[in-house]
A and B are shown apart, each in its own frame.
Chain A
């Protein structure tokens, strides 16, 4: 019989029965199956996964997938804008009348004013002949007198930009044009400022991601709350036995981290069909999406969100009898 150091087997009125039992113990010890990895609670041991956890992974995966789609869209938009933004030109129009003596002088001054703006690479005055060709092309087969319309066109300056993202560039162009009675093609300005709208959109995407992250953290938090309630006895007992708080909470925090990271990987895998399905269409817009950059973001983002949810869930796990 195995003896505890310093302990003898307890005395009993029925020692014979005890001896028989001890023999049974001796005999059965050899037959007691070994369990190589007992599932011990607390510390760095993960709690068992159940249906609640699977559901949480599915829900968080959907939310992370939505975040992934948003950022994939941002990536596509950024590439698409970048593909045509280098070729964009801004046109400034100046109404001149043939009988006005200072018309030519005003045009020259406007051209000089535009050229003095540092972010402008070149200012080209479009000759009337080129304007006439453009007008003819635009009218195509319309039964209109192109020459008459061309004569009505304002004097046009074509501006090539060196840095369309410069903060006050378009204000400077508007100022210069305004000083000499000219006006800027605002539609082209809006196109040139697409990067600005993209950055605004990325703020919105970031905000949406934050809201979704909070929702995901709450979902994981609620799931872990259910697990905590189901295992309240275990937590309570561990505290009665003198377990430190990190020992009690660590399994749940690990669980939250694993749930979030698993949902992140699943969401990333589910983004592939979108990329495959739209690749031909995106290629026509010179967009080549890189999904791999989203893997670490979704993986670590999911992990962080899961950990946050677990921290929220375990923040107030009260065991009344232990005073904790």
Chain B
């Protein structure tokens, strides 16, 4: 069973140097990004639409490979890594999307159990783990419900439960509060902050700048695919 690592702020979890991403269409999404994210940080990634936030997050889990420069995530050089290594990185990364990406033909239990299934957990073993995680996000009574029966906030909590169920050291959240009202968004942030306090590194792309006041963290600003600011 994977465990949440207790991490120090000394060793960088993510290190990038002159990172550049150019899509096959010719569009340059990111250019000259040099950044270090230590273990255990809570990082907001802000910037206008098209600034490159989502592209950068996708590179952290191997969704796209850097065109040039270097990117090391959890000790793995993402430019050189083969598919098997990328799969390992993904198993050690929790991903939360703005649109949840829940499977609507599957129950809440099945959605949350999916990362554990992928990692080879037997059903008998994963049931108590999924129950615990869902109880933590306040959805223990919705175990066998289908996502369409849940509210937007509840769906996002299911997505958080799915991201945390395998206890990954890195959680990537791509505008997880984008479709939520202010109160629900704050509650979602509460959960993410709590996971960060437990040792997970959380990187969250967001437009909701008001959340930064109530839930402080390191702010990395992107603009037009370049690094425009970093308050660390």
Contact = CB atoms under 8 A, between A and B. Distances in A.
A243 interface: yes
A35 B144 contact: yes
A8 interface: yes
Contact of B194 (A11, A25, A238): A11
A4 B136 contact: yes
Interface string A239-275: 1111110010000000000000000000000000000
A163 interface: no
A10 interface: yes
A323 B61 CA distance: 11
Contacts of A247: 118
Contacts of A43: 117
A70 to B, nearest CB: 41
Contact of B117 (A5, A40, A322): A40
B79 interface: no
B65 A38 contact: no
B107 A38 contact: yes
Contacts of B193: 10-11
Interface stretch (A26-34, A104-112, A146-154, A185-193): A26-34
Contacts of B65: 323
Interface stretch (B31-39, B88-96, B201-209): B88-96
Given A6-B198, A29-B140, A241 B101 contact: no
B83 interface: yes
A204 interface: no
A19 B80 CA distance: 49
A9 interface: yes
A241 B133 contact: no
A101 interface: no
A121 B92 CA distance: 82
Contacts of A2: 131-132, 135-136, 140
B63 A241 contact: no
A interface majority secondary structure: loop
17 contacts: A2-B132, A2-B135, A4-B136, A8-B197, A10-B193, A11-B193, A12-B190, A25-B135, A35-B109, A42-B117, A239-B90, A240-B63, A241-B114, A241-B118, A242-B91, A242-B118, A242-B119
Given A11-B190, A323-B64, A38 B113 contact: yes
Contact of B62 (A18, A41, A323): A323
B103 interface: yes
A7 B129 CA distance: 13
A5 B135 CA distance: 13
Contacts of A324: 83
Contacts of B115: 241
A319 to B, nearest CB: 10
B91 A234 contact: no
Contacts of B114: 40-42, 237-238, 241
A2 to B, nearest CB: 4
Contacts of A22: 138
B143 interface: yes
Interface in B80-137: 83, 86-93, 95, 101, 103, 105-107, 109-110, 113-115, 117-119, 123, 127, 131-133, 135-136
Top 5 A-B pairs, shortest CB-CB distance: A242-B90, A242-B91, A10-B190, A28-B141, A10-B194
B30 interface: no
A244 B91 CA distance: 10
Given A234-B103, A323-B64, 7 more contacts: A4-B136, A6-B4, A33-B144, A39-B106, A241-B115, A242-B89, A324-B83
A25 B113 contact: no
A1 B135 contact: yes
A24 B141 contact: yes
A13 B119 CA distance: 36
B39 to A, nearest CB: 15
A87 interface: no
B187 interface: yes
A192 B58 CA distance: 75
Interface string B50-80: 0000000010011111000000000000000
B220 interface: no
B195 interface: yes
B136 A241 contact: no
A102 interface: no
Contacts of B63: 240, 321-323
Contacts of B123: 37-38, 40
B199 interface: yes
Contact of A41 (B3, B110, B119): B110
Contacts of B132: 2-4
